[in-house]
Structure 1
Amino acid sequence: MTEQPRIRPATVPTPPADPARPAPPHGLTAGADTLDRAVRAAAGRATFGVSSFAALSAWSDWAMHLARSPGRQMQLAERAWRNGLAATLGAFGLPGGLTPRKGDHRFDHPGWALPPFRAAQQAHLATEDFWCEATREVRGMRRRSADRVGFMAGQIVNALSPSNLPLANPEVVEATLKTGGANLRNGTARLLHDIHDELTDSRPAALAQFEIGRDIAATPGKVILRNDLMELIQYSPQTGTVHPEPVLIVPAWIMKYYILDLSARNSFIGHLVAQGHTVFAISWVNPDERHRDLSLDDYRRMGVMQALDAAATICGGARVHACGYCLGGTILAIAAAAMAREDDDRLASITLLAGQTDFTEAGELMLFLDESQIAYLEDLMWARGYLDQNQMAGTFKALRARDLVWNQAVQRYLLDRPEPAFDIGAWSADATRMPYRMHSEYLRGLFLENRLTAGRFAVDGRVVALKDITAPMFVLGTETDYIAPWRSVYKAALFTENDLTFVLTNGGHNAGILSEPGHRNRHFRVGHRTPEKRYMDPDTWCARHQARPGSWWPLWWDWLAGHSGADRAAPPPMGAPDAGLAPLCDAPGTYILQR
């Protein structure tokens, strides 16, 4: 960028040459360590960042414990026999056959009830059920090994499903006969086009139909601050008067911020501005090798704290409602705890949307994380300076491969039914990278070692504690979130002692957040904990709070208003030129366009 930032970031100490591993392991010279890491980095590129040792270790742990468990072996043999019998009955259309699990729509087509497709379906369901049972934890083995083996076995079984094979899928056969093979010709052409786009790093087709700044990320505003890490957007007011306290939105750095500003219909930010709030949002830089030494604390200081300073300055020193989404909520909680330690009371409230503070139950992402895997990723990032966006996107797709990989491939390449373009699909195709040092620090410090709630997470050399936070909190989890499971998000209630409202809404990590009023089939539960109340475990909480129909957004708007000043006033100016915060360009800015 040619423009200089209007507010310079705080001085960052010069990091060591290799922040993730400042010194070679004991007994290794620097040259030997560099050679080892270069070899592992090359292997990491070949295996898409997956540690072969971590996989083999899990399989060997499972196999050795199963080998010395004859009772378990007998049980599995009986399971295999019963499944074989059930599959045989089902193949002939007799009672007692196997049925797909709830939510499995691969075999919905009526053709699966006809031979020979019925036999293929039954054989697959029998195999799937057997491996699901066979990979359960055996006494004495590591629980994570069982989870990993189950995940890997599930990936293999899903890949071999007859629904993925043209001649074994009756829906594909029917479409081929009806179109004279046009579905396969068109699908093959589409596959070759997609491969070309992937190899040439071409602009995703989904993005071509949704122009950033026109169709999505189009809420009017100005970039009023830019530094090496983020742009801060101030949105133009849409009401004659506004609440005195502004709202600062801190998105996750593993995604582009405009998941919260999609189309006008479902823009989280646009609806919030329309409620009479002055809204600021951080747009993170898409890092490359130049940003390899950015630390996790840089994201707090140069991101959250500089944005907070700017929002408060523009709004005349008003306190700020801070809202963090996903890992943006995590870094916001860290910043809030550090502020509370220093008696900095500038936060009027804190909202965590699917944001975890404790990572002991951090969901299926933990399948990919242990010392071996993180070291493998560190070596891969060490060679590049960052984690590639395809690695991030591939990890999330692997967690839901049946729906996000195989089902889409069947629809797109075998049935000639490309998914219609829609806003969240365009956002999903616009992935981001992760800088080496920061990614290593948050994987180790938060996911692997869980330092924040273990009392070992330091800011400026001193440990912070979530229980120091006194600002009221609004914490939201989503029922089917596999990235930030709601029971893990709920743990904010275990480690804080302030006024806390917890909301559980239906949907997943993204769909549960994008729950605008009028969205069909939405419901939520809400509970309020005052400081003197005792802790309630998540399952008891869920049982005691009935679901309410509709969107949770109006509830949050009312909550924000209830923690705001009673008197509304004229909107503040766009930026503060006298404080070095003059508007730089129109929203959504320039960092959002980086690929």
Structure 2
Amino acid sequence: MGTQENIEQGLTAWWQYNQELWQLAATNFSKENPLQNALNEQNQADLQSWLSALNQQPETFIKQQNAWWQTQFAIFQNSFMPQTTDEKEDIISPERGDKRFVDPDWQENPWFNYLKQSYLWFGQSLQNTIENTPGLDPKLKERLAFFARQSVNSVSPSNFVSTNPELLKLTLESNGQNLFDGLARLKKDLAKSTEMLRVSMTNENAYTLGEDLACTPGRVVFQNHLFELIQYHPTTEQVHKTPLLIVPPFVNKYYILDLRADNSMVKWALEQGYTVLMMSWKNPDPSMANIAFDDYVVDGVLCALEQTEKQTGETQIHTVGYCIGGTLLTTCMAYIAAKRIKQRVKSATLLTTILDFSQPGELGAFINEPTINALEQYNNQNGVMSGHLLGTSFSMLRENSLYWNYFVNNYLKGKAPADLDLLYWNSDSTNLTAACHNFILRDLYLNNLLIEDKSVSIRGTKIDLSKVKQPVYFLSTRDDHIALWQGTFEGAKRLSSPLTFVLGESGHIAGVVNPPSANKYGYWFDGQDQDNPAEWLASAKHESGSWWSHWAQWLHQINPDQVPARAAQSDEQPGIYDAPGEYVKQSI
């Protein structure tokens, strides 16, 4: 009787949960979304174009289908037939780094082994068919391949209880408690989601800014409607004469460069004897809808340069721009040159920065007129591009590791996500103003105007990147899927600067936040061919260890002079309040 009661109670609770979840989903996801409509229409048109191309080459399609069936039969034999060796080798294996199939049963159990290999072969063959279909526009192929991968990965057998041996075992052993716990977590995530399900990657209450993260001591010395300027307290008695101003991306919060003491680029730069100042962007709300890219250039970077001079008394400043912050910094340098006003930039360090947007990486799947038009409609309707929507979209560029992994862990295993500083930062989203995002989408990504002479105007002044002549240290990373290094290499050539191009190992974040103490990722430098990225890499020298040390030597060569350390706070310049300030704490 007790067992019967438990079953009835479980079914009742399950039913109630389902009703609540459907109600939450209907409430949060029912809003008309022009972007989703545009993507659906574009995908349907792309699919029709692909099918039409296949129909014109029936012999190619039949050949591929025969190969598919032959391999499927071979997989069946491989999985279910007795093997003569102790170690059975799969016909189709997961790609390097694919952690979905690490449970031993995916290899040892014939049924799950067959399911795994058959699924992987389906994904591979679909991509091969798209790639080998003649007559398709390259951009169309990119979109087909991207969304085919998204669809295939969404139906992976690892994402379902009935086809994942690890989940089946866990469900049986816990009498389904993992699923009830998972439903509770799903309910919480649905309650905070709009447009798309926002899967929690970490405990959002695990860290406190200023105590656990972003805790390098400093002082907010200036604030306007766009940013706060933090000047950090020196940690050496002597400092380099030329101060260092960091321009982080306004699509994220600055503390990616000041996470913990052991991986803080800010703390490390202070230890090298630099006076470090950091821009901390305001998290915009709909009232800032008309704040444009121009404003981020003039009221942002240019203003920060002026304030850095005011704080330090130095007229020449080393600058660092990260991601779109680097694009912003370079645009500001070109604007200063065009206006022929005081040029305070002594050198520029550009980290994973796109100047030539002709190779947008996997974001290219969204760079077309219908999708851009829909995004502009969304922005204009809402005043901002939602940081949560933007963050989820970027996670879907690495969907297995940054989306489905957490979907399975949170909702099917019923486990809480781990407390990780990087994931906390990644989830601490920022909005983008409508006007600024529209400019980035259309003028930069779609029309690639920044590399065209005098095609971009900043507050009525036409700019030209070739007028930028200060020394530039340009870091890209080999595995960057947002700013492809081959594309950033081409963009760097648009400048007239003495250029030091460096290619780091790893990706957009780990390749940049790479402290020497970790001794983790190396880098390439001093390639001989400055015109061809492949030839540059083939001739480049490789060095183990962090690029930070190489960069410090480069900065030192530009200006080795030192002066007594500058206080971030004094009677004459008391500042506003202690770092990390207030803007960085604004959440959405």
| TM bracket, shorter-chain basis | 0.7 to 0.9
1:586 to 565, 578, 581: 578
Distance in 2, matches of 1:335 and 1:42, equals 41
Residue 166 in 1 paired to residue 161 in 2? Answer: yes
Percent identity of the aligned residues? 32
Does the residue aligned with 2:535 lie in a helix, a strand or coil? helix
Deviation at 1:204, TM superposition (A): 8.7
Q: How far apart are the structure 2 equivalents of 1:430 and 1:206?
A: 11
Shift of 1:79: 2.9
| Structure 1 residue matching 2:250: 3-state secondary structure | coil
Separation (CA, whole Å) in 1 of partners of 2:392 and 2:131:
25
Structure 2: how far apart are the matches of 1:442 and 1:327?
9
Residue 448 of structure 1 corresponds to: 446
Q: Answer with 242-251 or 339-348: which moved more.
A: 339-348
- The CA deviation at 1:577 is 8.1
Task: Please name the residue that 1:184 is paired with.
Answer: 179
RMSD: 2.5
Secondary structure in structure 2 of the residue aligned to 1:264: coil
Counterpart in the other structure of 1:297:
294
Distance 1:367 1:137 in 2: 19
CA distance in 2, matches of 1:337, 1:66: 48
Which has the higher mean CA deviation after the structures are superposed, 79-88 or 233-242? 79-88
1:129-528 mapped onto 2 (5 Å cutoff): 129-136=124-131, 138-198=133-193, 206-341=203-338, 342=340, 344-455=342-453, 456-527=455-526
Distance 2:265 2:541 in 1: 25
**Secondary structure of residue in 1 paired with 2:240:** coil
**Partner-residue secondary structure (3-state), 2:238:** coil
Report if aligned partners of 1:49, 1:391 keep a CA contact under 8 Å in 2: no
Given that 1:48 and 1:391 are in contact with CA atoms closer than 8 Å, whether structure 2 keeps it comes out as: no
The residue identity in structure 1 corresponding to 2:337 is: A
- What is the CA–CA distance in structure 2 between the aligned matches of 1:203 and 1:406, rounded to whole Å? 11
Give the superposition deviation at 1:104. 2.0
- Contact 2:318/2:347, CA 8 A, preserved across alignment: yes
Does the alignment pair 1:102 with 2:96? yes
Report the TM-score, using the length of structure 1 for normalisation. Answer: 0.87
CA contact (8 A) 1:44 1:376 kept: no
Structure 1 residues 85, 264: closer, same or farther in 2, change over 3 A? same
Cα deviations by residue, 1:173-202 (Å, 9 ceiling, x for unpaired): 233344444433433333333334447999
Shift of 1:586: 0.9
> TM-score, normalization: structure 2?
0.88
CA drift at 1:417: 4.3
Contact 1:107 1:163 in 2 (8 A): yes
Does structure 1 retain, via aligned residues, the 8 Å contact 2:219–2:579? yes
Q: Kindly provide the amino acid, as one letter, of the partner of residue 210 in structure 1.
A: Y
Equivalenced residues, count: 548
1:529-580 residue CA offsets vs partner (Å, 9 max, x unmatched): 8xxxx7331111111113211111111122112212x3311223436887xx
**1:223 positional shift:** 1.1
User: What letter matches 1:347 in structure 2?
Assistant: V
**Cα shift at 1:378:** 1.0
Q: Quick one: structure 1 residues 195 and 460, their matched pair in 2 at CA, closer, same or farther if it must change by over 3 Å?
A: closer
Relative distance call for 1:50 and 1:512 in structure 2 (3 A) is: farther
Indicate the larger mover: 99-108 or 248-257.
99-108
- The answer to whether 1:61 aligns with 2:53 is no
* Distance change (3 Å), C-alpha of 1:313 and 1:576: farther
Report the Cα distance in structure 2 between the residues aligned to 1:287 and 1:85, rounded to whole angstroms: 56
Deviation (angstroms), 1:370 = 1.2
Counterparts of 2:463 and 2:424, CA distance in 1: 38
- Kindly state the Cα deviation for residue 275 of structure 1 after the two structures are TM-superposed: 1.3
- The amino acid across from 1:273 in the alignment is L
Aligned pairs (5 A) from 1:5-20 = none
Quote the residue 1:79 is aligned against.
67
Distance (whole Å) between structure 1 residues aligned to residue 75 and residue 519 of structure 2: 38
Match of 1:20 in 2: none
